[in-house]
Structure 1
Amino acid sequence: MARKNSKANKPIMARAAAKYTTYRVSEPGELMEFLMKKMAGISRTRVKALLTNRVVLVDNTIQTLYNYPLQPGMCVQISREKHKHEFHHPMLKILYEDAYIIVVEKKEGLLSVATERQKERTAQHILNEYVKRIHKGNRIYVVHRLDRETSGIMMYAKDEKTQHTLRDNWHDLVRDRRYVTIVQGEMEQDEGTVCSWLTDRKLYVSSSPTDDGGKYSVTHYHTIKRANGFSLLELQLETGRKNQIRVHMQSLGHPVVGDERYGCEMNPLGRLALHAFKLCFYHPVTHEWMEFETPYPTPFKTLMLKK
């Protein structure tokens, strides 16, 4: 029996080994230098290409950061099955990934995370399935959210400790969150700040100019362009409350285009005209400064072309 089991195990082990080239870390260092040393003759450009192509794993987690710090005992693997680690989804794009966080751009119409009332497929579900392909023990943890109707950049954690670090130190780590929106009507001011107390009423969020027990919320806005009865704004958040921008724009008398819930009767784009285009923060583990930015959506620019 022992010989039979031994023979049966050999092909399985051989097949598993063939999927990766594996290196064990014996001393502290950075990933780029480690790979250049282990893969004698490889150029820095080639190593960066491996990282960009998402085929380098550290302890069973895809790593794309060239200066990722390695410690003795870690396992570095180069996958020979590139297709296994590729990610393609019509509603979601991965902008960055390492062992601790994953930064994505989602399209409008996709929930960030399921709610008690809505159990449908979400960005979190899609990413969970993706990371479990790499290792069945992997999972995604929610840090913040975007409304279903809002597109743009958001971040998830890849372990519970990183999730807590981000949530508990959000205002210290996340230094710049910016949105672009188109609102109904021409803005009276070139720039300004909206402050109010917001209360979640489940079906909608109410706003009060005085403290009524709600959450204090601050939105800064800058008017970029006025045209065709609309205004293109760039917004910077000091706080990140549910529906904050949508409620604050309504309070100014200029609701977000396509936002029927908060007073807009026009929907020329067939979507909510709100996009999270910029996210800047200090990495919760490496403390590296991270900047992510996407272009304004093309339909936004088209709507603002003067006729």
Structure 2
Amino acid sequence: MKNKQKKKARPVKAAAETTYTISESSDLLPFLLKSLNKLSRNAVKSILTRGQVRVNNQTVTKHNYILHPGDTVMIQDNKTAMKTTALTGITIIHEDDDIIVIEKAAGILSVATQKKDGESTAYAQLTAYVRQDHPRNRIFIVHRLDRDTSGIMVFAKNEQTKERLQQQWKHLVIERMYTAVVEGNVGKPAGTITSWLTESKTFKIHSCPFDNGGKKAVTHYKKIQGNHAYSLLQVHLETGRKNQIRVHMQDIGHPIAGDKKYGAHTNPLKRLGLHATTLVLLHPSTNKRMAFSAAVPKKFSAISKSIV
């Protein structure tokens, strides 16, 4: 029986990709060879090896990766691949006429600060990226991740989209999930932290258990695993305040590993133990539900693994 794949071209100008929806199970390489039948076998294998293929928004390079019905396979063209190779510490996982969604590595600033002006930030790199298509193209900041926090970020490609995302953030963003490595073995399997946050003149956030005029912040967490030294938590934001997760983990006596500013005594990962895992939103122009995810760093799981 012949495989029947439904080919659906995405209306993307800046980052040309072709999208396929899988109807029958298949290994990835044979599927690519059939879909890209005008290219030689070596050329198709090179496309796979260079990371130009994503399955369900995750880059895949394994030849024998198994595709299942309903999976989406996105193949990036060579021109776009050459543009993205110049990016350092950020990976574009989705782009259309209105937004760019990236996975940011720890150590990369979202946008320049006065102290770090001139540094290769996510904002600066994406600005240079879109200007390869037109010198007047721009990128707009919608939200930020701390320098040492890795994971999913979204940027707007025009001012109208930026304003809609910022003004309707609570409506458009359905879910924001983080993964955190915290110090100590968290006793409760799950919990909710509510407090009011204020910022000092030294830019440190302070938490108060009652309404003191600050911004109300609500964080939900679920323990995934833990040992005597560290716990791995899945964290959902009900509100999105500055440093909210970091402050709330300090509140429950389990600061994020590597977060000296908010009470941590250790830095086993040589970075902040915080990763923006999932972002689910309604597209600001089409209102289509879109989900983006970034795999949890392996070190997060390894260091918090339960001791048998």
TM-score range, shorter chain: 0.7 to 0.9
Task: Give the corresponding residue for 1:242.
Answer: 242
Could you tell me which of 101, 110, 119 is aligned with 2:99? Answer: 101
Residue 62 (1) aligns with residue 61 (2):
no
Residue aligning to 1:195: 194
* Aligned equivalent of 2:59: none
2-structure distance, mates of 1:295, 1:243: 22
In structure 1, the gaps of 5 or more residues are 1-42, 68-78
Match of 1:179 in 2: 178
Q: Quick check: 1:176–1:236 contact (8 Å CA) kept in 2?
A: yes
Deviation at residue 228 of structure 1 after TM alignment: 3.9
Distance in 2 (alpha carbons) for counterparts of 1:260 and 1:200:
17
2:151 touches 2:275 (CA, 8 Å); kept in 1? yes
2:72 maps to none
CA contact (8 A) 1:64 1:96 kept: no
Question: How far off its partner does 1:88 sit?
Answer: 4.2
The residue aligned with 2:290 is 290
Please state how far the C-alpha of 1:44 moved relative to its aligned partner: 5.8
- Which amino acid is 1:104 matched to? I
Change in 2 beyond 3 A, CA 1:236/1:83: closer
What is the percentage of aligned positions where both structures have the same residue?
42
Report 1:131-210 matches (<5 A). 131-201=130-200, 202-210=202-210
Match runs of 1:261-272 below 5 Å: 261-272=261-272
Within-5 A mapping of 1:214-253: 214-253=214-253
- Over residues 49-85 of structure 1, what are the superposed CA-to-partner deviations in whole Å (9 max), with x where a residue is unaligned? xx6xxxx754xx3355869xxxxxxxxxxx9845554
Q: Deviations over 1:61-113 (max 9, x none)?
A: 3355869xxxxxxxxxxx98455544443310001000000000001111111
**Which has the larger Rg?**
1
Which residue pairs with 1:33 in the alignment? none
Are the structure 2 counterparts of residues 302 and 81 from structure 1 closer, same or farther at C-alpha, using a change threshold of 3 Å?
closer
Q: What is the DSSP-based 3-state SS (H/G/I as helix, E as strand, rest coil) of the residue aligned with 2:111?
A: coil
Distance of aligned partners of 1:186 and 1:274 in 2 relative to their CA distance in 1, 3 Å threshold: same
Q: Hey, what's the Cα distance between the residues in 1 that align with 2:222 and 2:80? A: 44
Q: Is the alpha carbon distance of 1:140 and 1:181 closer, same or farther for their aligned partners in structure 2, counting shifts above 3 Å? A: same
Equivalent residue for 1:254?
254
1:232-253 deviations in Å (ceiling 9; x for gaps): 1000001111111000000100
Equivalences, count: 246
Corresponding position of 2:125: 126
Change (3 A) 1:137 1:245: same
SS of the residue aligned with 1:134?
coil
User: How far 1:132 sits from its partner (Å)?
Assistant: 0.3
Amino acid corresponding to residue 141 of structure 2 in structure 1: V
Moved over 6 A (4+): none
- What TM-score comes out, normalization by structure 2 length? 0.74
User: For the Cα contact (< 8 Å) 2:194–2:216, is it kept in 1?
Assistant: yes
**In structure 2, C-alpha distance between the alignment counterparts of 1:140 and 1:82, rounded to whole Å:** 17
* Cα displacement string for residues 243-265 of structure 1 (whole angstroms, at most 9, x for unaligned residues): 11000000100000111111111
Q: Cα RMSD (Å) of the superposition?
A: 2.3
Asked if 1:302 corresponds to 2:302, the answer is yes
Query: Measured at CA, do residues 115 and 254 of structure 1 come closer, stay the same or move farther in structure 2, by a change above 3 Å?
Result: same
- Which TM-score applies when normalising by structure 1? 0.74
Gap change, CA 1:90 and 1:302, over 3 Å in 2: farther
Cα drift, residue 142 of structure 1: 0.3
Distance 1:83 1:146 in 2: 25
> Deviation of residue 229 (structure 1)?
1.9
- Between structures 1 and 2, the one with greater helix share: 1
Residue 165 (structure 1) shift? 0.3
Once residues 16 and 78 of structure 2 are traced to their aligned partners in structure 1, the CA distance between those partners, rounded to angstroms, is 15
**Gaps in structure 2 of 5+ consecutive residues:** 21-76
Structure 2 counterparts to residues 11-30 of structure 1, below 5 A: none
* Counterpart AA for 2:148: E
Counterpart CA distance in 2 for 1:303 and 1:99 is 40
Q: Secondary structure in 1 aligned to 2:165?
A: helix
User: CA–CA distance in 1 between the matches of 2:18 and 2:154?
Assistant: 16
